[in-house]
Structure 1
Amino acid sequence: MTSQEKVTFEVPTKDQVSVKNQAIFDQMQKSFGTVPNLYATFALNETALPDYLALQNRKSTLSAKEREIINLVVSQVNECEYCLPAHTMISKMHGFTDEQILEIRGAQITFNDKYDALAKFVKDTTVNRGRASEEAADVLFDAGYTQANVIDIIMVIGDKIISNYLHNFTKIPVDFPEVPNI
């Protein structure tokens, strides 16, 4: 292939992935009724899908809501057309309203000061490639977050950057309901 030929990514079917990934597809199908297109795309590589799932499902000092705040903020910064709808749906399952989700995505949370400190730190960290401002860090720690929490925050930011970048490059079809732009 020449450098001028465009590579197009297709979402693989179960029979197009390794046996190990086929088993993961079966588990997802059983648990969720579907295999999301982005997870299926990870399965084009024999080890990427199980590795990514291990990262996503690791134990954390952060609550599920806090992890979703991070997922939404990072996906907004990275303009990921796949992860924003996916995490909007997941955030609703964790009790956030449509209005709250828009505030989270903009890192301007009015309904919870601790969440606002987290969102601002995440946005600052993501925009500045890991170099959060001293002010954002101070506000985060003043809100009650610990050094252990910061490590988990960075881990979740990294997780989300991986999936954002994978979609932003592959542009595989989004299989979640559309969300408004902000």
Structure 2
Amino acid sequence: MLAADNVLAKGNLSNKDQEAIKVLVSELTGCDYCLAAHLMIGKSVGHKAETLKALRAGQSTGDAKLDALAHFVRQLQQNAGTLAQAEVDAIRAAGYSDTQLVDICLGIAVITFTNLFNRINDTVLDFPAAD
């Protein structure tokens, strides 16, 4: 998974987009360790605390492209079956390329694995918890 995360880091999504995905998926899965870690990393790559809070709550961040990303990730995470074409069209219209859609899927896969691993092992939180 670390190798996959390195591929993601060298991919076509900004660090801010990568961390938004990781924060959002960690929030949705309830992984306290990953959520705390990626909130901290999210701030270090330039997200404001208010932006991260809005992402977690499913509220508008005030950034249309970021909001489109968050909506798309939520749709993938919370709904089974084939994604509606309108959802794919919307993320493309927000400015994400097909290559970036692949990277979004990779980001979700990497953090989902990490979330599951930490939830199974009840990884000790060795830095400040998410608030």
> Does structure 1 residue 83 correspond to structure 2 residue 34?
yes
| Larger RCO: 1 or 2 (CA < 8 Å, sep 6+) | 2
> In structure 1, which of residues 142, 148, 151 is the aligned counterpart of residue 99 of structure 2?
148
Distance 1:94 1:77, change over 3 A: same
Partner SS state of residue 96, structure 1: coil
> Does structure 1 residue 57 correspond to structure 2 residue 57?
no
Alpha-carbon displacement from aligned partner over 1:101-128 (angstroms, at most 9, x marks no partner): 1112233233210000001101110122
**What root-mean-square deviation, in Å, do the aligned CA atoms of Structure 1 and Structure 2 show?**
1.5
Q: Is the 8 A contact 2:26 2:35 kept in 1?
A: yes
Distance 2:56 2:94 in 1: 19
> Does structure 1 residue 68 correspond to structure 2 residue 19?
yes
- Judging by fraction of residues, say which structure has more helix: 2
Distance 1:115 1:104 in 2: 9
Q: Is the 8 A contact 1:66 1:115 kept in 2?
A: yes
Q: Which has more radius of gyration? A: 1
Return the TM-score normalized by structure 1.
0.66
Q: Is the 8 A contact 2:31 2:115 kept in 1?
A: yes
Residue 141 (structure 1) shift: 0.9
Distance 1:90 1:130, change over 3 A: farther
- Unaligned 5+ residue runs, structure 2? none
Matched pairs, number: 129
- Unaligned 5+ residue runs, structure 1? 1-51
Q: What percent of counterpart residues are identical?
A: 35
